[in-house]
A and B are shown apart, each in its own frame.
Chain A
Amino acid sequence: MTVAQPPHETTLLGRDLGEESYLTDGTTLMSWLGTTDHKRIAILYAVGITFFFFLGGAAATLIRLELISPAGRMLTNDEYNRTFTLHGIIMVWFFLVPSIPTTMGNFVLPMCIGAREVAFPRINLFSWYLFVVGGLLTFFALLFGGVDTGWTFYTPFSTNYSNSNVLLAAAGIFVTGFSSIATGINFITTIHMLRAKGMTWMRLPLFAWAMYAVSLVMVLATPVLAITLLLVFVERAFGLPIFDPRFGGDPILFQHLFWFYSHPAVYIMVLPAMGVVSEVIACEARRRVFGYEFMVYAMLMIAVVGFMVWGHHMFVSGESQFANLVFSFLSFVIAVPSAIKVFNWTGTLYRGQIRFSAPMLYALGFVGLFTIGGLTGLFLASVPLDIDLTDTYFVVAHFHYIMVGGSVSAFFAGLHFWWPKITGRLYPERFAQFAAITMFFGFNFTFFPQFILGIEGMPRRYHLYPQQFQALNVTSSLGAVVLAFAYLFPLFYLAWSLFRGERAPNNPWDATGLEWQTRSPPPTRNFDFDPDVRAAPYGYHPEHNAPHEVSQTHEPQTP
């Protein structure tokens, strides 16, 4: 595909952007803040979540520093409680939930199905503004005065007892929820309506399937969060008795509502990661994803059964033992599709031609850490073990393995994988490989000791703790130093690459997806041609295929 080369332009930063692309199409601030281009909106989101990631990370660093000493030397109890609440709220709602869908989803999803836009471009921009407004409200609530309820807002503490900015934080999260819903609706409609010619459902890349599954969950679960926060809001602000036991209310009802959203929210955080990792592993192992159809059904099953397991957060809340057993069984059931996915990623490596690029290292790290996170989840699905382990550091370690070891690793995998496409520049590979390996070790160094802490009985959300737990806490804090370095490092080399990196070719990975058949960075309308899909994704082998022969737009070969 030859393209006419228009004269190079310079931006407001005065640098050469190369040939005409979505980046050169308007270079004023307003051309960004008023854009309806899904790729530019992805960049806007990326700026937002990067900010929140490092804000939440700073809080985590403070927590780990404070826990070096069992007596807590720097912070008061109230300050400590506000710090972990800030960490939780920011990381869950302003980093993990939006992270992959709003950045890579927004950028890559339309392109990988051969669309020129999302279905509702203006709603897409609107969703970013909702995110910003919600983010600012919450940011001010958390930083000026603070919130001390934990990210879970359990009643009646949050409604009647907490002396902190619960109302403002709840309002911020409420608003941000609508940005999730808008993104979900946009993706579902886009996948249904805007697939390119020949892009049948079973030819969708797994990343697109992941975005579809996660959108279903976002659209169905987030309204419940909105209602729940609204109820907390009216009870706290206007004294309307809803959860207050003094008026016959039930504080446990709050937990049911909250986890009915927040358990599916775990899958909002991890399904996109599964999608990213599937793309990266297939490409870097030059191999079809093992059991593509099973991968699709596994993701859909996770999305559906994910709605039926919320009660496993409440085994010690006074829930009936019958309900406990039902939720326990369903929690074991939902582990099956997750296990299938792990086996399939492993199977994809079989007979592959593996290249250990940075995205691949992150993706392999994801598989290992997700496996540990998932299996420790089985401990918590078993009622008698959960009774002992819940609300201890075992739980803290478990969900960090899923969300940080899993989702954040996958975020970095995707970031590096699509970086050349998004920016049109290559990143320094050696640095990136180094960061990936450091992140893996730093992560285990930080969080593995927390499993042992939990097994030994250290409760979570403890500012002061018995002396016997100090050694492991210090180990964990040392690991956090390594981890913090591993997270900061990409900020520098990626920033360098943005300005000085080598120009990226259109398809640096020789990948099959449609997003790789267009230019890097892509033009505003995504493609200079009309994509015509003729093959299933991941036609990487046989090995002697030339790069263009594996693309989804190429007629499949009979080996």
Chain B
Amino acid sequence: MLPIAASTYAPRIDLLFWLMVAISGAIILLVTTLLVWFSFKYRRGTKAKRGALMTRFTREVEITWTVATFFTFVFLFWWGASVLVATVPIPRHAMEIHVVAKQWMWKVEHPDGQREIDALHLPLGVPIKLVMTSQDVIHSFFVPAFRVKQDVLPGRYTELNFTPDKVGTFPLYCAEYCGTDHSRMTGGVVVMTPGAYARWSQAQPQGDSLADRGKRLFTQLGCAGCHVNSETVDAPDLFGIYGKPQPMTGGGFKLADESYLRDSIMLPKQDVVAGYAPIMPSYQGVASEEDVVELIAYLKQSGGSTSR
């Protein structure tokens, strides 16, 4: 019944699923048996014993099944929660792939610059981290074989991590209703052995890596004009800030993660770094979501400062 399990995470989900099936099956069986048995035994006209029940008895039965149900449900909650908690930490060396969704298409950008549409090629056994955003409405990245699903939101990055552990092509669906061709917004995830993946990767039209493209955009879009050694404009140095907390005007710190960097490009007035005037213009409509992904890749890569 369950689709083929193709990620390291899937067997744990499947075990939880069958546990739930067993417990709810047992409860349904119990209720149905009692319903049918009572309906038969106490149908009108039979000679079954029918006296009143003692109030104390009723009360004790009531308390018993309330407590039993509660503990069963808490146990099920605990099991589910422990499966979830085990998946929260993302492996540090995970391969990061960017996904940009739009009506009605999945656009994928690999770190080395390969691009795909409605397809995602992955090497077997390598932890994957997808960083996803949407150009328009909410979509949802759903690969049943991996037992994963994550909404893809406009104006925000969401992440999904998993490790594929079977070779094959697995269906990819958009699971959040997104308009006319929602049901056509499908694709395939191709998991390949590392050798085959390397060959596939080589065969792709060799573009620049994401970071290289970001570096070019950094100049083209005019970011460098203010953020690199500017005489006239006082703008913060951006290199090496990724992953570090930034002081905010008005107090407090914000972690410079992907979402923060994206917001700083698209909605610069939202979080202004302490000590700087809110003079940066918004790049809404100027930079596409893919451009932003590339810019961020560049900022993440360049650890050292180029300023001064």
Contacts and interface: CB of A to CB of B under 8 A. Distances in A.
B138 A77 contact: no
Given A156-B154, A351-B51, A367 B3 contact: no
Choose among A329, A378, A466 the residue with the greatest number of B CB atoms under 10 Å from its CB.
A378
Contact of A252 (B3, B76, B153, B270): B153
Contacts of A120: none
Interface in B62-118: 62, 65-66, 69-70, 73-74, 76-77, 79-81, 83-85, 87-88, 103
Q: How large is the interface on A (under 10, 10 to 19, 20 to 34, 35 or more residues)?
A: 35 or more
Choose among B34, B50, B83 the residue with the greatest number of A CB atoms under 10 Å from its CB.
B50
Nearest to B104: A77
Nearest to B282: A246
Choose among A294, A321, A375 the residue with the greatest number of B CB atoms under 10 Å from its CB.
A375
B53 A351 contact: yes
Contacts of B73: 332-333, 335-336, 339, 378
A255 to B, nearest CB: 9
Nearest to B26: A375
A382 B39 contact: no
B42 A351 contact: yes
B31 A346 contact: yes
Contacts of A78: 180
B184 A455 contact: no
A371 B31 contact: yes
Contacts of A379: 17, 20, 24
Given A385-B13, A388-B147, A559-B52, A336 B39 contact: no
B50 A541 contact: yes
B84 A321 contact: yes
Given A245-B156, A455-B2, A387 B148 contact: yes
A112 to B, nearest CB: 24
B52 A542 contact: yes
Q: How large is the interface on B (under 10, 10 to 19, 20 to 34, 35 or more residues)?
A: 35 or more
A328 B81 contact: yes
B39 A390 contact: no
Contacts of B147: 384, 387-388
A18 interface: no
Contact of A148 (B27, B83, B180): B180
A505 interface: no
Nearest to B71: A336
Given A157-B138, A375-B27, A452-B1, A354 B44 contact: yes
Contacts of B181: 77
A431 interface: no
A437 to B, nearest CB: 13
Nearest to B136: A161
Contacts of B218: none
A324 B84 contact: yes
Contacts of A390: 149, 175
B76 to A, nearest CB: 6
A318 B153 contact: yes
A320 to B, nearest CB: 10
Contacts of B180: 77-78, 81, 148
B142 interface: yes
Contacts of A251: 138, 153-155
A39 B8 CA distance: 61
Contacts of B35: 346, 349, 364, 367-368
Contact of A316 (B20, B27, B79, B151): B151
A461 B182 contact: yes
Nearest to A285: B42
B286 interface: no
B286 to A, nearest CB: 12
Given A459-B174, A466-B171, A351 B49 contact: yes
B188 to A, nearest CB: 11
Interface string A326-357: 00110011011001101110110111111110
A541 B49 CA distance: 12
Contacts of B182: 77, 81, 461-463
B291 interface: no
A387 B20 CA distance: 15
A249 B270 CA distance: 11
A383 interface: yes
Given A251-B155, A346-B38, 7 more contacts: A156-B138, A248-B267, A378-B76, A381-B77, A388-B17, A463-B182, A463-B183
30 contacts: A149-B177, A156-B136, A157-B137, A161-B103, A246-B154, A251-B138, A252-B153, A285-B42, A316-B151, A325-B81, A325-B84, A333-B73, A336-B66, A339-B65, A343-B31, A351-B51, A352-B42, A354-B42, A354-B43, A354-B44, A364-B39, A367-B31, A379-B24, A382-B16, A384-B80, A385-B20, A455-B2, A457-B173, A461-B177, A463-B183
Query: Which 5 pairs, one residue from A and one from B, show the smallest C-beta to C-beta distance?
Result: A245-B155, A457-B144, A382-B80, A375-B24, A349-B38
